Amino acid sequence: MIFRGRVQGVFFRANTAEKARSCSVRGWVRNLRDGSVEAVFEGDRTHVEEVIGWCRTSQPYAEVEKADVKWEEASGEFTDFDIRY
């Protein structure tokens, strides 16, 4: 998924990783060159939805203007939640 708005330089990736781990969601998050943030979440759908909702509305310093979600089948390739650079 892609988060757009004021999402870089505001600890968005670190806060997303902390929330995802607390919800047992696996995957990764990274900054994109256009100023947006891309994330892949994998886990129980209820937990994934919780993390997405939190990222949209409760990030301490970010202002998410738009969140583009694309649902796919879980790949099972992730064992943790990582910040990619």
- Helices and strands counted in the chain (H then E): 2, 5
Which domains can be identified in the chain, with CATH numbers? 2-83 (3.30.70.100)
Quote the pLDDT of residue 80. 97
pLDDT value for 11? 98
- Type and span of the H or E element at 64: strand 63-68
7-55 pLDDT tens trace:
999 999 999 999 999 999 999 999 999 999 999 999 999 999 999 999 9
Q: Supply the residues annotated as catalytic.
A: 13, 31
Q: State the pLDDT at residue 44.
A: 96
> Is the whole model's pTM more than 0.75, yes or no?
yes
| Dist CA 66 CA 24 (whole Å) | 24
pLDDT tens digits, 51-83: 999 999 999 999 999 999 999 999 999 999 999
Q: Is 9 left (phi over 0), alpha (psi -120 to 50) or beta?
A: left
